[in-house]
Structures are given as C-alpha cells and as structure tokens.
Amino acid sequence: MTRMFVATKIRLQKALEQRELGQGTLEYLGIVIVAAILVVALVGAFNSFDLGTKISTKLDEIGNAGG
C-alpha cells in the first residue's frame, strides 16, 4: 500500500516538472517585452513633448511678471 502511494507521488512530481519546463523562459520573455514597450512609449512621449520650450516659456513669463 505504501509503495503505491510513493509511486503515485513520484508520478505526480514528474508530471508537474514536465508541465513547468520552459516556464522561466516565458517569464523572462514577458519581462523583456514589457520593458521594450515602456521604452518605446517613453521615447515617443519625449519626442512629442518639447520640455525645453515649455521651460523657456515659463521662465520668460516669470521674468516678465516681475517687471
């Protein structure tokens, strides 16, 4: 009876190991894809957003408001 339980436990462990093969690779691939999407989004946002001009405009407004 004990031999049957041990054999069943071993079969279940092997089945779980087989099912999880390659799982780490998929997780890393997912992380790389998300990081790439974030980089593309940030580059696109900074290209369409002219920070230098906005800062210059606000500094001119502050300088002109005092005088």
pLDDT single digits (tens) 20-58: 677 778 888 989 999 999 999 888 877 777 777 888 888
pLDDT tens across 10-27, in order?
A: 888 887 777 767 777 888
Half-sphere exposure for 15 (CA within 13 Å, toward CB): 6
H-only helix segments in 2-50: 2-19, 23-48
pLDDT at 31: 93
Asked whether residue 6 carries a pLDDT value surpassing 70, the answer given is yes
Among 51, 29, 32, 52, which Cα is nearest to 40's? 32
For residue 67, pLDDT over 60 is answered with no
**Which region, left, alpha or beta, applies to residue 22 given φ > 0 means left and ψ of -120 to 50 means alpha?**
left
pLDDT at 66: 61
- The CA–CA distances, whole Å, from 25 to 7, 20, 22, 40 equal 30, 10, 5, 23
